[in-house]
Amino acid sequence: MSKKYDYDFSIVENKKENFYYLLGVLLTDGNLKFNKKRNCYQMKISSIDKQWLELIKNKLNGGGLYKYKENCWELSISNSKIINHFIEFGLKENKSLNLRCPQINELFVKDFLRGVFDGDGHISSEKIKFHKMCSGVSSGSELFIKDLYDLILKNFNIKGNISKYNTIPHFIGERFCNTVSTIYSIKFSATNTAKLCSIIYDNCDLFLDRKKSNADFIVDIYKKKIQEKKDKNQERLDFIFSNVNILDTRQMESKLKMCRKQIIKILKTKYYFDNSSKLWIKASVD
């Protein structure tokens, strides 16, 4: 006889941060099966990160946590009320090749994406140089990857690259997998990874530790690089303001890694624009 749990149904009924996070996890790394013996659906999440599964279990206040195999754990949930809420948002059996991204409340897009990345995404570790760092999500469903990219682009204006590749025969543990399948992937550069991670891992209480640790590291490196760039530009500006009385906007663009709009805003603090010569002239010069 299965164990009864006093589930916290508010998570699935209110459909806020934690619901959309779990939806992202389940759509990418979850598994839904109909148990004929129990005559009910079961949804499962498998991971090497036992503490993460315990965190999810505690949030739901229920679910069985078992050792699935060596160094792998499985969280199993059989409550039909919990499961039906996720089924309504696209969770289904055999979803790998035909998964779609459901309609996501724009207030909780960041939580859904964090669940997707924690479930089946990758974020570069701190062992490589910043310009080689990246992040991405892979799926057997081309439509899901396209939906996901549109969601990120629409809400955060962060661009990535979509590609596809075929798997080759390989070992999964001690088992040899001879299946060849097509995988679709969306990948983000180091800079766009930092921008995305600064959004989806900011101010959250449900996350996979090792993914958030990598995300925080990339964001910190990116912020330091931005500050270094600002400091260098300020040094150049200080030199220019002290030694140059007449400036051309294009000249400034070549010296500073700034857009024209930013440069003009800065020039207005020290110079005035002469329409006849199309040059900026230092205000203190007669």
Q: Is 60 exceeded by the pLDDT of residue 247?
A: yes
Query: Averaged over 39-45, what is the pLDDT?
Result: 90
Higher pLDDT, 242 or 35: 35
Please tell me if the domain spanning 1-93 has the same topology as the one spanning 96-225.
yes
pLDDT for res 264: 79
Percent of the chain whose pLDDT exceeds 90: 57
pLDDT band at 71 (very low <50, low <70, confident <90, very high): confident
Arithmetic mean of pLDDT, 192-210: 95
pLDDT above 60 for 139: yes
Q: Which residue has the higher pLDDT, 69 or 65?
A: 65
Return mean pLDDT, the chain.
Answer: 87
Instruction: Indicate the domain borders of the chain.
Output: 1-93, 96-225, 244-282
What are residue 65's DSSP bridge partners?
Answer: 75
| pLDDT above 70 (res 170) | no
pLDDT band at 1 (very low <50, low <70, confident <90, very high): very low
Residue 23 has pLDDT above 70, yes or no: yes
pTM of the prediction? 0.82
User: What average pLDDT does this structure show over 1-10?
Assistant: 76
96-225: which CATH topology? Endonuclease I-creI (3.10.28)
d(CA 25, CA 112): 8
Average pLDDT over residues 86-110: 93
Which is more confidently placed, 215 or 173?
A: 215
* Residue at token pair 């009910």: 40
pLDDT greater than 90 at residue 251 = no
Choice among 40-44, 54-58, 129-133, 217-221 with the minimum mean pLDDT? 129-133
Within its chain, how far is the Cα of 246 from the centroid? 46
pLDDT band at 208 (very low <50, low <70, confident <90, very high): very high
Give the per-residue pLDDT at 286: 46
For the domain made up of 1-93, the CATH class stated in words is alpha beta
Q: What is the helix (H) or strand (E) element at residue 146, kind and residue range?
A: helix 142-156
- Return the pLDDT at 172: 55
Return the percentage of the chain with pLDDT > 70, whole number: 91
Query: What's the rounded Cα separation, in Å, for the pair 103 and 255?
Result: 46
Most confident of 21-25, 242-246, 256-260, 278-282: 21-25
Is residue 42 helix, strand or coil?
strand
pLDDT of res. 155: 97
- Strand residues in 135-259 grouped as ranges (E): 135-139, 161-166, 170-172, 175-177, 182-188, 246-247
